[in-house]
Structure 1
């Protein structure tokens, strides 16, 4: 291969590389598609998107869609929303759906809803086709102590104006549950709730539970009502058991105090007996000292011994007469 052929081949390769680079930087095909759809967008605008790290197809395709739908949306608005982290295609679809459903929705409002983290397209769909939210089983107790379990279906419609800053579905479910508890709790008997379950719906709807939320409550239907436990009887049983335990504890406390008092009295008696024994032990010594000192005579001592012996004899006779079946008792009979 001669030098000329090599030069031509090199130029062809360089030209191909340059052409690939141009088409990668300048989206010619996308620009042609926009022109064919009647969307006026400059080639330098597309190049600027590349430099700003914006994917041109993410802007041009929604722009074509909006222009075909007759929406007044500019490329700068879509690019600004894209750079802010929004979903451009979803916002444009929501605007088209709102226009078809005759729902007033501006681009700035839709962009704000999208940036707030809500699905604006789903909100528009929910405005056209309301959503049914089913609450979990809510247990409440009527005034007669009977538990009533109810489950409700709440039909809601999205409120576009309150999507930004409005509460979500969890708040609706919590408020409906609170309304069920209030309605059942204010009923005199559980039978009234079972006979008229629509009483719950009317009471809950009258409270304006959708205030401050992103939804508008259309209806509340009681899907299921069932009777639960007899809470009043359980509470009375528990209270009686608690009173019984308290009484037992107090009785045990009194018994322990009585036992302690008895032990204290026994200890006192034993102490007194010990003192008596100690005093009796001192009597012979005192008698001996009195005899030595001449305070009493021998005859006095013998008289004292006779009195003591006579007392012991009388005491023994009295004990024999007190025995069951003794002659004294038989004579008395």
Structure 2
């Protein structure tokens, strides 16, 4: 009898557990919210999302939002974008913002922008409210050699058609900096740029710098211009210093070559003197050999000695005469 009374309780508990599991697996509350919002989402569709490991709330809530905004999107599109790794809620918000701003934007384009890693909602907002990009200080030199440091502000608007595959803000900044350098470099003087800074902005803006980027440049404004160094004078000074060092190096090279030639001449003279001494040392031996062989007589020898003595005497007399004519010879 006791067992008979427990059976209904056990069955009731089992039924409660089964219903709890079903309610946990099947988002009944989400299904009711969709029906109340007028969105036709079947209960089996929600079960299929669970089986495909898709969070139903991340599909149904954006779907309700899109339906209230009058957008024509389907559950299959949202679910496919979610499975591809996209942000469904941000895409729907971007489509709603674009529709309110009368900007033509299809779901496929918005989904592609989102999957490309760009913030599609921010892009739509930037299309409505343009963004100002401030460039770093750009250093440029006019033709008179004076450096100018320029800072510019670039007003850009997102181009939704080029967000996929278009270059980013870094490219815009680089192109604007290049245009500023070119424009100032073609100016005759820095004073001309200081008088008309808008000349630089007009020249840069006319170059079509937004080509191939994800933005459309609306205006380029010169925010600040400062005069820097006299680069031309500094380059001339550096060139003169370099020329001076080259001239010093060449002079040192010529001096070294002269010293080398002098040393070669001294060595040559010493070598000649050594040969003369060697030849003089051979004279007595040659005389001795000539006397022995009878090629030279004794009288011939004495006559040669007299001639040598006479020559030495004449040289001494000549030196004495020169010293008397110049009593204070230079040392």
Structure 1: unaligned runs, 5 residues or longer: none
SS at match of 1:29: helix
Q: Where do 1:194-233 residues align within 5 Å?
A: 194-233=194-233
- String of CA shifts for 1:13-44, please: whole Å, max 9, x gaps: 43343223212211111111111111110000
- String of CA shifts for 1:246-270, please: whole Å, max 9, x gaps: 1111111111111111111111111
Residue 329 (structure 1) shift: 3.5
Q: Where do 1:130-169 residues align within 5 Å?
A: 130-169=130-169
SS at match of 2:35: helix
Show the counterpart of 2:314: 314
Q: Are residues 259 and 12 of structure 1, via their aligned partners in 2, closer, same or farther at CA, if it must alter by over 3 Å?
A: farther
Structure 2 residue 209 is the aligned partner of structure 1 residue 170: no
Show the counterpart of 1:293: 293
Give the Cα separation in 2 of the matches to 1:168 and 1:328.
Answer: 99
Q: Are residues 6 and 267 of structure 1, via their aligned partners in 2, closer, same or farther at CA, if it must alter by over 3 Å?
A: farther
Residue 9 (structure 1) shift: 5.5
- String of CA shifts for 1:284-326, please: whole Å, max 9, x gaps: 0000011111111112111211222222233233334444xxx
Q: Are residues 72 and 197 of structure 1, via their aligned partners in 2, closer, same or farther at CA, if it must alter by over 3 Å?
A: same
Show the counterpart of 1:66: 66
Give the Cα separation in 1 of the matches to 2:320 and 2:213.
Answer: 101
Show the counterpart of 1:280: 280
Give the Cα separation in 1 of the matches to 2:140 and 2:257.
Answer: 47
SS at match of 1:288: helix
SS at match of 2:326: helix
Residue 118 (structure 1) shift: 1.0
Report the more deviating stretch, 140-149 or 8-17. 8-17
SS at match of 1:155: strand
Give the Cα separation in 1 of the matches to 2:221 and 2:326.
Answer: 94
Give the Cα separation in 2 of the matches to 1:258 and 1:26.
Answer: 105
- String of CA shifts for 1:185-224, please: whole Å, max 9, x gaps: 1111110000100001111111111111111111111000
User: Alignment RMSD, CA only?
Assistant: 1.8
- String of CA shifts for 1:146-178, please: whole Å, max 9, x gaps: 111101000111111111121111111111111
Show the counterpart of 1:90: 90
Give the Cα separation in 2 of the matches to 1:304 and 1:3.
Answer: 168
- String of CA shifts for 1:115-139, please: whole Å, max 9, x gaps: 1111110011001111000001111
Give the Cα separation in 2 of the matches to 1:20 and 1:316.
Answer: 145
Give the Cα separation in 1 of the matches to 2:314 and 2:211.
Answer: 104
Give the Cα separation in 2 of the matches to 1:11 and 1:153.
Answer: 75
Give the Cα separation in 2 of the matches to 1:83 and 1:322.
Answer: 120
What is the TM-score of this pair, normalised by structure 2? 0.94
Give the Cα separation in 2 of the matches to 1:302 and 1:24.
Answer: 149
- String of CA shifts for 1:23-66, please: whole Å, max 9, x gaps: 22111111111111111100000000011110000000000110
Structure 2 residue 326 is the aligned partner of structure 1 residue 329: yes
Report the more deviating stretch, 60-69 or 255-264. 255-264
What is the TM-score of this pair, normalised by structure 1? 0.94
Residue 3 (structure 1) shift: 4.3
Give the Cα separation in 1 of the matches to 2:70 and 2:81.
Answer: 20
Residue 7 (structure 1) shift: 4.9
Q: Are residues 328 and 253 of structure 1, via their aligned partners in 2, closer, same or farther at CA, if it must alter by over 3 Å?
A: closer
Give the Cα separation in 2 of the matches to 1:70 and 1:26.
Answer: 27
